């Protein structure tokens, strides 16, 4: 099981991205540290997760998926529920 950091820019105003959010939350675990990012705990590779995301966004949107090893991180202003999740899952 790995944690991947998903960052996205959804560039088409007025679109409904509920399908994307539901998909990201459907994995073994998740946290939402910033407005356009999720940490997703999953058995999928970064490429497989990206491919699942691509099915739920527009072609002009942008996405970056990075594997997170959790060896080192720091935060400021992030909700304690998110940092608690990170402490438990990274």
Taking CA 39 as the corner, what is the angle to CA 75 and CA 56, rounded to the nearest 5 degrees? 140
Average pLDDT over residues 1-14: 88
76-88 pLDDT, tens per residue? Answer: 999 999 999 999 9
Could you tell me the residue range of the domain that residue 40 belongs to? 2-89
**Residue 25 and residue 41: Cα distance in Å, rounded?**
9
75 near 83, Cβ under 8 Å? Answer: yes
- Please tell me whether the overall predicted TM-score, pTM, comes out greater than 0.75 for this model: yes
50-68 pLDDT, tens per residue? Answer: 999 999 998 889 999 999 9
Number of domain units in the chain? 1
| Domain containing residue 60: CATH number | 3.30.70.240
């Amino acid at each position: 099981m790995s944690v991947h950091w998903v960052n996205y820019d959804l560039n088409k105003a007025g679109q409904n991205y509920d399908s994307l959010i539901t998909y990201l939350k459907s994995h073994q675990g998740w946290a939402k540290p910033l407005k356009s990012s999720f940490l997703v705990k999953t058995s999928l590779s970064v490429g497989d997760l990206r491919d699942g995301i691509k099915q739920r966004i527009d072609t002009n949107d942008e996405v970056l998926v990075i594997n997170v090893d959790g060896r080192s991180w720091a935060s400021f202003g992030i909700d304690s529920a998110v940092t608690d999740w990170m402490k438990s899952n990274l």
